[in-house]
Structure 1
Amino acid sequence: MALVSADSRIAELLGELHQLIKQTQEERSRSEHNLVNIQKTHERMQTENKISPYYRTKLRGLYTTAKADAEAECNVLRRALDKIAEIKSLLEERRIAAKIAEIKSLLEERRIAAKIAGIYSEAEPPRKTMRRGVLMTLLQQSAMTLPLWIGKPGEKYEVDDIDEEGKERHTLSRRRIIPLPQWKTNPETDPEALFHKDQLVLALYPQTTCFYRALIHAPPQRPQDDYSVLFEDTSYADGYSPPLNVAQRYVVACKETKKK
């Protein structure tokens, strides 16, 4: 039922995205006429070789309209990007749900086979664990599908702490929880949102599910690039491993412990 619900929502979002794309084209067509008027006004000014009060007033009005048109188009594009991010999230959730269902089916088949062979007891069921290769693949795909952050001028990031939810395993204070990034940073437009070279961080060590202390060797240069980090490792002479790549999603701030 969950997969059917996701498919229905994806179809709905695709319809909304289609309308937003059409609206974007309409906004762009509307602004093109004004841009042509700006260009023609500048050409007339160059021909007359003077900037009269008339042209100054006219250009001020044209540029004000152009700015409003650009902002309107930008707002529509942002709404379209939000729809795309939601669609990608739903597709990822659906894919993971299908993978989990597949794994459960395989485990059930093994349980039945083991029971038939006489090596399975209902009192001690086999431990259900996800294969390491599958888990590593899921982590990597989750990093690749992280949506790109496109902020407005002067806009800051907001991070919500995760409250305790369920008590199946551990109970932790929010102060001990470091949330993973919800957006991918574009180095060209928001470089201040990236960790800088030699900054101390916690990073997911490749092919594991554990975060370790590391230094930023080089930040991403493009949205799709990874961080290059140096993990703390006493087996090397300088105390750090060679540079290793870690996706933006799995690099978080490291809080220095206070010395007593």
Structure 2
Amino acid sequence: MRRTPCGRCVVAAVMALVSADSRIAELLAELQRLLGHTQEERSRSEHNLINIQKTHERMQTENKISPYYRTKLRGLYTTAKADAEAECNILRKALDKIAEIKSLLEERRIAAKIAGIYSDAEPPRKTMRRGVLMTLLQQSAMTLPLWIGKPGDKYEVDDIDEEGKERHTLSRRRVIPLPQWKANPETDPEALFQREQLVLALYPQTTCFYRALIHAPPQRPQDDYSVLFEDTSYADGYSPPLNVAQRYVVACKETKKK
């Protein structure tokens, strides 16, 4: 028998919906403003980068590095660094707004369910074919934002098999978070798993994570990990190398088998 939410709960849910809609509208306006500032910063820094390029061209023509050019380049690079940091700070703020919008949208979905705007009998999401689901997983991995060195952000975990149902509440000890950022091997190699490190990785064409060894870490930001899955059907106990996106490779707390 399906429980009907009390009138007070429905009123509270409707108020939460209105509040969420209002806040989302504010955040979208702030996001638009931040994106405008990003373009302004990029246009300003572009002029300085052109000056750096022209200065290098003049130095090559004269075939010498005079004290004048050395001083000029030092000033230009200092300005370029400050411009890049300013743009980076704006982009961080924009990402924070996007994360808050996503959180509010989930709160809105739950409030709408309580208010009776849609019911369990009519879930908001339709069951997807497996092929479509695999494509979405790959697209999610490809669009994962690049980590730029600001640790300490919180994680959110969704159960992809619980379509249209409430989320489960688990203790932090029982959850292994998926990465929110993609690590750049050229600037942050220490953020990547290294060769022969034990991990849990998403087996290709499934939604299950299995124990595996890192065969080779990514060499470029867009590259995948090459991993060896534990498989007793092979003589050495591991499968041939398979590619898995950064988003779907996580730490394994168990010790490596000897």
Tell whether the 8 Å contact from 1:162 to 1:177 is kept in structure 2 after alignment: no
Deviation at 1:72, TM superposition (A): 2.1
Q: Which has the higher contact order (CA 8 A, sep 6+)?
A: 2
RMSD of the TM alignment (CA)? 9.5
Q: Which runs of 4+ in 1 moved over 6 A?
A: 1-15, 32-63, 99-129, 153-171
Tell whether the 8 Å contact from 1:107 to 1:128 is kept in structure 2 after alignment: no
Name 1:243's counterpart in structure 2: 241
| Inter-partner Cα distance in structure 1 for 2:27 and 2:112 | 45
Question: Helix, strand or coil for the counterpart of 1:134?
Answer: helix
Tell whether the 8 Å contact from 1:164 to 1:171 is kept in structure 2 after alignment: no
- Higher mean C-alpha deviation, range 34-43 or range 243-252: 34-43
Deviation at 1:41, TM superposition (A): 10
Post-superposition Cα deviations, 1:205-242, rounded to whole Å, max 9, x if no partner, equal 11222211100111112222211110011111111001
CA 1:30–1:5: 2 relative to 1, 3 Å = same
Tell whether the 8 Å contact from 2:155 to 2:177 is kept in structure 1 after alignment: no
CA 1:111–1:9: 2 relative to 1, 3 Å = closer
CA 1:239–1:149: 2 relative to 1, 3 Å = same
State the TM-score, normalized to the length of structure 1.
Answer: 0.55
Name 1:53's counterpart in structure 2: 67
Tell whether the 8 Å contact from 1:185 to 1:223 is kept in structure 2 after alignment: yes
Tell whether the 8 Å contact from 1:163 to 1:174 is kept in structure 2 after alignment: no
Deviation at 1:204, TM superposition (A): 1.2
Post-superposition Cα deviations, 1:45-72, rounded to whole Å, max 9, x if no partner, equal 9999999999999988776555434432
Unaligned runs of 5+ in 1: 83-98
Name 1:187's counterpart in structure 2: 185
| Inter-partner Cα distance in structure 2 for 1:150 and 1:176 | 28
CA 1:220–1:49: 2 relative to 1, 3 Å = closer
| Inter-partner Cα distance in structure 1 for 2:104 and 2:94 | 39
State the TM-score, normalized to the length of structure 2.
Answer: 0.56
Instruction: Flag the structure with larger Rg.
Output: 1
CA 1:26–1:166: 2 relative to 1, 3 Å = closer
Tell whether the 8 Å contact from 1:187 to 1:220 is kept in structure 2 after alignment: yes
Tell whether the 8 Å contact from 1:164 to 1:172 is kept in structure 2 after alignment: no
- Percent identity of equivalent pairs: 93
CA 1:168–1:242: 2 relative to 1, 3 Å = same
CA 1:70–1:174: 2 relative to 1, 3 Å = closer
Unaligned runs of 5+ in 2: 1-14
Deviation at 1:149, TM superposition (A): 1.7
Deviation at 1:151, TM superposition (A): 2.4
Question: Is 1:64 matched with 2:78?
Answer: yes
Deviation at 1:254, TM superposition (A): 0.5
CA 1:26–1:159: 2 relative to 1, 3 Å = same
Tell whether the 8 Å contact from 2:155 to 2:180 is kept in structure 1 after alignment: no
Deviation at 1:38, TM superposition (A): 8.4
Post-superposition Cα deviations, 1:91-131, rounded to whole Å, max 9, x if no partner, equal xxxxxxxx999999999999999999999999999999754
- Higher mean C-alpha deviation, range 139-148 or range 187-196: 139-148
| Inter-partner Cα distance in structure 2 for 1:212 and 1:12 | 42
Count, aligned residues: 244
| Inter-partner Cα distance in structure 2 for 1:68 and 1:100 | 25
Tell whether the 8 Å contact from 1:226 to 1:246 is kept in structure 2 after alignment: yes
Name 1:108's counterpart in structure 2: 106
